[in-house]
Structure 1
Amino acid sequence: MFISFEGIDGSGKSTQARLLAEALRAEGREVVLTREPGGSPGAEEIRRLVLEGDPDRWSAETEILLFTAARRDHLEKTIRPALAAGKIVISDRFADSTRLYQGITRGDLRAVVDRLHDLMIGIEPDLTLIIDMDPAEGLARALGRQGTEERFESFGEGLQVRMRDGFLALAREFPTRCVVVDGARTADVVAADAARITRDRLMRTRDGALGA
């Protein structure tokens, strides 16, 4: 099973991805926890290119190509081998982030993102957990990390507002894949929700496979 976590910057999705991986491993499941951009040596090199530096370092079109290249390497080196081995893959972000960051909020390029995705990637997660968070609070959290990967946070709260709206719209567009989780609660409560949703999806997937 392939699970992705999405949400605005500072929503807590990275923490929730880690907590879900820990919960599933405690149940005896084999889990690969990964991230985007990154998750493989080549993709991690591209991560530094796209997440560090000045906000206007790359155009949205160039970013789409860079993110797609990173995702292709991630798919080849990490995701596909793990799924083929029967493991659960949990990724902190996947293609939905590119659909929004580069495809909608920085230009009318969603169709370009989707065409490249169909051509070079070709898969979607079985389950996407969208951690919903107030944009102002999420941005404050993200900037409070004081790391070096703050290129997108520097676009300001306006981008985060558009991102939140975009993620909620994606949940409506893909209702069988996407589930919105309220991220304004404590991390433990959010994690319990994410684990419950995942276990339910795993159970239904197993029962469907047995029925087939």
Structure 2
Amino acid sequence: MDLWSVHLGRVPYREALDLQQRLRAARRHDLIPDTILTLEHDPVYTRGRRSDPAELPFGDAWYAEHGIDVVDVDRGGKVTYHGPGQLIAYPIVKIDDVMRFVGQLEDAMVAALREEGITKARGRAADGRDFTGVWVGDDKIGSIGLHISHGVTMHGLSINIDDTTLEPFTWIVPCGLGGVAMTSVERLTARRGRIDCVRKRVTHGLADALGERQRLVTRDRLEKALAAAPSTVV
């Protein structure tokens, strides 16, 4: 089976959320194959279902003044930040074992980071849901947050690539973990602009884990597939 891999470039969060929702409806009815979107976002904080107001201590208005939107979402997890210089991957795939899939995401992230020379990267889902993601020592470099409906995933993972992603994390309680520092590929390797290399490795690793063949698809091709779906489905 194919895994469609669609690179979107830089996309506002709400636009990507709408696309994910349309894709999940189509995937549920087997109108498209498993699909992974890769992209970067404009600056945004997203609040998952388990978020606490204290995780955004300065209030929505203060963050808006600093150019960061705040969006409530239906994924698991708590508050996190997305912005330019951070790799985002949203897999819209059918699964039957949530924790196995989380492990596959962690493994794909870890393998990609080790190719960058970050040999101490490791997934920590086994340590409890608050620690899901990828860590380097006590610092977190990658996050995972999912929502599953009718056996189809939405939302996904993020990896901090450039240091530009890090300061906004200091203005929140990231992932609900007080005192946790975030790190990035640039901080650990002194190399900037590695997002395309990491992106290609993550999508290739996930396709391998799912036993699927990665097929590069343009957004235009994807939109045509969605347009062909019955309006009552998408």
TM-score if structure 1 supplies the norm length? 0.30
Q: Which has the higher strand share?
A: 2
TM-score if structure 2 supplies the norm length? 0.28
For CA contacts below 8 A with separation 6 or more, give which structure has more relative contact order. 1
Q: Which has the higher helix share?
A: 1
